[in-house]
Chains A and B, each alone.
Chain A
Amino acid sequence: MSRNSDENYGALWLLTPTVLLYVATFFVPIIMLGVLSFARFEMSVTTIGFYFDNYIKIFSDGITLKIFFQTVRLSLVITFWCLILGYPVALMMRSCSPKMKMVLLFCVVSPLLTSIIVRNVAWLLILGRSGIINDTLIQWGLTSKPLPLMYNEFGVILAVVHVYLSFMVLPLFGALNSINSSIEEAASSLGAPSWRVFLSITLPLSLPGIMAGCTLVFILSMGVYLTPVIMGGNFVLTLPMLITESVREQYDWPFASAMALMLLLAIGFMVILSSGVQKLVGRR
């Protein structure tokens, strides 16, 4: 036993690069954010200190808080659609042949393999005012004016769901795959029709996958920047956009830091909430 742990400690130095990387890219910036968020920004001059200006501004300027909640709502909607669309895919991946599984997996992951620009240009060609869909609809006389499929929430949600679906499907598939199918068969032999087996057995047993997928997609959605910029065309504002703007246009790092911390807190809150839910259900 002790020999074993000795060996483990011996291998610890292998972690050094990773630890350094984390310290450099995670902890240091967070500490800097924390310090900056309490600084004062006046006449383009940043004064380090302990001021609540930025936080007061968040809650009182009438727009930041609104956009924050809009970002949260958008992320929840995206997470919801990823779950609704991803669950059947994960279910199918579990039950189909290994070959079909690879095909499905590739389809789900394919957006991640495409560059963000290519992806969004593709959406433009499909959803734009003279994109494939609108062209076809107009040609068939189904509509006279192009439908607003882009530069609105719909476009943003669609494009983000498309990219992040894989982050939902993979944990879901993992969770579903770890359910021994004889458990479901036992339920069915005890008289449960397939919908009942799904609700009473499959769904609750896949809960860890659901929570993992939802948390992951939510976190990613809270931080997504480029896709809403392209797909929303300034009609859909999110907190990351505000942060970028604050830094790039106003050079107001302290306010940007405060907003970034707020984003981080919201994410932390969600993570705690989801693990809480899981514990609660697990105990039942």
Chain B
Amino acid sequence: MSSVELKSIVKKYGEVTAVASIDLSVESGEFVTLLGPSGCGKTTTLRMVAGFIRPTSGTLSIGDVDMTGVPPHQRTVGLVFQNYALFPHMTVRKNVEFGLKMQKVLTSERGPRVQEALELVQLEALGERMPAELSGGQQQRVALARALVIRPDVLLLDEPFGALDKQLRDHMRVELRELQQKLKISTLFVTHDQDEALSMSDRIVVMSEGKVSQVGKPTEIYEKPQTRFVADFIGRSNILVGKVESKGKTINAEGLILPNKGNVVAGAEGISVMIRPECVEITQSGSKATSTSADVKGKVTASIYLGSIVQYSVQINKGPNLVVTQNNTGSENLKNLTVGDDVDVSFPDSAIYILPG
């Protein structure tokens, strides 16, 4: 049984197409993330599931019931906004209780359920506070409790941690994922933060310009992107365009000779090859010769210190410019690399990924 299913959903605002035919499903208990750059239609999609936007065409079902034209208050969805959207004139307890009142849950039953929801987000002590008296993280937890207490068919979150600082965001991420797994609640999560998507999701739906670019597990999305867009958008990547050489054994990617791993037919052109920067090894020329498949030489043209990693730009001799990242382990080798240094560049065959199509 799927909790949410979208079939050929389209949303147009006059000439503007916000969502161009989306198929999407959230299975029972699954955590699905909509990931994509700003303006790709994530919020629009989520709001169609919540019922605030009526799709131009297509069908939407929640819990295997057609909900396409059903108004929001007749759907049982839990919605969490980026700006929390708590009721400012009600205490935390009243906020959480609101949905139960609307569902006409008996007064005697409401108390324990509110308490339970508050315990779930570790706010049982703050029930009598007003929202304005809470920190951002606490407010977002109240919003979560308020959405969960009605036992929704699906939990919808639109960049819920966008307004929090990085540390709290990382913390809330873990907390939400644990909660979701504990309650086995179907969740549709919207974000443009790939770390968030990769770390929390069962499945990621990468969107671009109102369309689904790729659907897959986080590992599939990261390691086997199906389109150039996904490869570019997720993580840092070097994407080289090459052509299979006459014998069919190798690919000439902008001057870099790589093994033809995908067994693309000889003579094929415009092949996109992806090499993740963290898979590339660079060492000072002449230090120790590591021998891997593609042994090439280059020159460091830029270096950016990012704390845990250092990102280099390496101009390959008679070849492309590669982005290379190295873990900052504090090794002497790393510290000595500066702009202008000649380096040996190497990467294992497994680092080479040929994009389909």
Q: What residues of chain A have their CB less than 8 Å away from a CB belonging to chain B?
A: 180, 182-183, 185-194, 196, 200-201, 204-205, 282, 284
Chain A residues near B81 (CB-CB < 8 A)? 182, 185-186
**Chain A nearest CB: distance from B340 CB in Å?**
48
| Chain B residue at smallest Cβ distance from A185 | B52
- Interface check B282, CB cutoff 8 A: no
**Chain B nearest CB: distance from A89 CB in Å?**
24
With A182-B81, A196-B102 in contact, is A188–B73 under 8 Å at CB? yes
Q: A185-B81, A188-B73 are in contact. List 13 more A-B contacts (CB 8 A).
A: A183-B85, A185-B52, A185-B72, A186-B79, A186-B86, A186-B87, A186-B143, A190-B99, A190-B102, A190-B150, A196-B73, A201-B87, A205-B89
Choose from A185, A194, A200 the contact partner of B79 (Cβ within 8 Å): A185
Choose from B73, B83, B87, B103 the contact partner of A189 (Cβ within 8 Å): B73
- Interface check B50, CB cutoff 8 A: yes
**Chain A nearest CB: distance from B214 CB in Å?**
29
- Interface check B88, CB cutoff 8 A: yes
Please give me the 10 A-B residue pairs with the lowest Cβ-Cβ distance, nearest first: A191-B102, A190-B99, A182-B85, A189-B79, A186-B85, A188-B72, A182-B81, A183-B85, A188-B73, A192-B102
B87 close to A183 (CB less than 8 A): yes
Bound together, the chains give a CA A189 to CA B98 distance in angstroms of 11
**Chain A nearest CB: distance from B107 CB in Å?**
16
Chain A residues near B18 (CB-CB < 8 A)? none
- Interface check B160, CB cutoff 8 A: no
How many chain B residues have a CB neighbour from A under 8 Å? 27
- Interface check B146, CB cutoff 8 A: yes
Bound together, the chains give a CA A191 to CA B50 distance in angstroms of 11
| Chain A residue at smallest Cβ distance from B80 | A186
Bound together, the chains give a CA A201 to CA B83 distance in angstroms of 17
Chain A residues near B51 (CB-CB < 8 A)? 189
- Interface check B77, CB cutoff 8 A: yes
Q: Give residues of chain B (2-61) contacting chain A, Cβ–Cβ below 8 Å.
A: 50-52
- Interface check B78, CB cutoff 8 A: yes
**Chain A nearest CB: distance from B96 CB in Å?**
10
Choose from A185, A192, A204 the contact partner of B85 (Cβ within 8 Å): A185
Chain A residues near B85 (CB-CB < 8 A)? 180, 182-183, 185-186
Residues 87-112 of B, flagged 1 when their CB comes within 8 A of A and 0 if not, give: 11100000000110011000000000
Chain B residues near A200 (CB-CB < 8 A)? 87, 98
| Chain B residue at smallest Cβ distance from A181 | B85
Bound together, the chains give a CA A214 to CA B102 distance in angstroms of 31
Chain B residues near A190 (CB-CB < 8 A)? 73, 98-99, 102, 146-147, 150
